[in-house]
Structure 1
Amino acid sequence: MRRTLDEIRKEFEGLESSSVQCLSMVTLMNELERDYGTFRIDPSEVFLSKPEVILYRKISSARVFD
């Protein structure tokens, strides 16, 4: 069953930005890609303004790489 964006957002907000949590963030990003189609090679401005894409990009930018 597909989770709501609010459920995914709450899980993300519960994670601390650290390299240990990076895998959890990638898992959330994979879920958004699978369930909401958030990955596009050549996205339009309309696509980038969708709430699920905004959340995807927020999670992506919060990842920490050591």
Structure 2
Amino acid sequence: MDSYPYLDRREVAEADELIRTFGEDAGCEAAARADRSRDLGNHVHFARWRQVERLVVLMSIPRAVGTVH
């Protein structure tokens, strides 16, 4: 992954909760929530759920990604 999403504490907590609740399907659930927000015309929540979806994928990689200091 060449770029990292801008994250805040709330998005990390949401991604963690989705992973705990949905396991391997957490990314699909975040995508579904993003789609639902888009269908309702809520672009702010759409973008936030897409970020959470990216974070779920990033958190599922079993190794460090990027530069490790």
Rg comparison, structure with higher value: 2
**Fold conserved (TM > 0.5)?**
no
Richer in helix (by share): 2
Q: Relative contact order, CA 8 A, sep 6+: which one is greater?
A: 1
Q: Normalising by the residue count of structure 2, what TM-score does the alignment of the two structures yield? A: 0.39
